[in-house]
Amino acid sequence: MFLPPRYRLPDFVKFTGIGSTSTMKHISQYLAQLREIADEPVFVVMFFSLSLSGPAFSWLAYLPHNSIKGWKDLETKFHHYFASGIMEKSIIDLVDVRQRNNESALHHLQRFKEVRNQCYNTFRS
């Protein structure tokens, strides 16, 4: 799959997850900025990270490998995470992450990383 001839990636409007921009508005802006490649799910997923910064970029970077099955899946996870208020965690929440009975170390580490990502803004302050 190739980009159209003379296609130039835009300077994407950045979404941080902090502030008043809704996930719906960000997705609409992102797809509009992609213009003619917005109909190609591979490109939409591939370039989505370029529209994120701060906590939102960290969220995407720390998703488990191969956990995104396509654009619709990524979009759903993005809306769920940032529109639900999940990211409102503090350092205390991170300290309280304990391995549960019968929980694998891998799953515990994944939960720890999720809470850490939710605390990202607290760490940067």
Nearest Cα neighbor of 115 from 41, 96, 105, 35 is 96
Give residue 20's identity as a one-letter amino acid code: S
pLDDT class of 111 with cuts at 50, 70, 90: confident
Taken in order 112, 69, 49, 14, the sign of the CA dihedral is: negative
- Cβ atoms within 10 Å of 23's Cβ, excluding its own: 18
What residue ranges do the domains of the chain occupy? Answer: 23-124
So what's the pLDDT on residue 124?
41
State the pLDDT at residue 118.
Answer: 62
**Residue 111 or 43, more confident:** 43
Radius of gyration for the alpha carbons in the chain, expressed in angstroms and rounded: 16
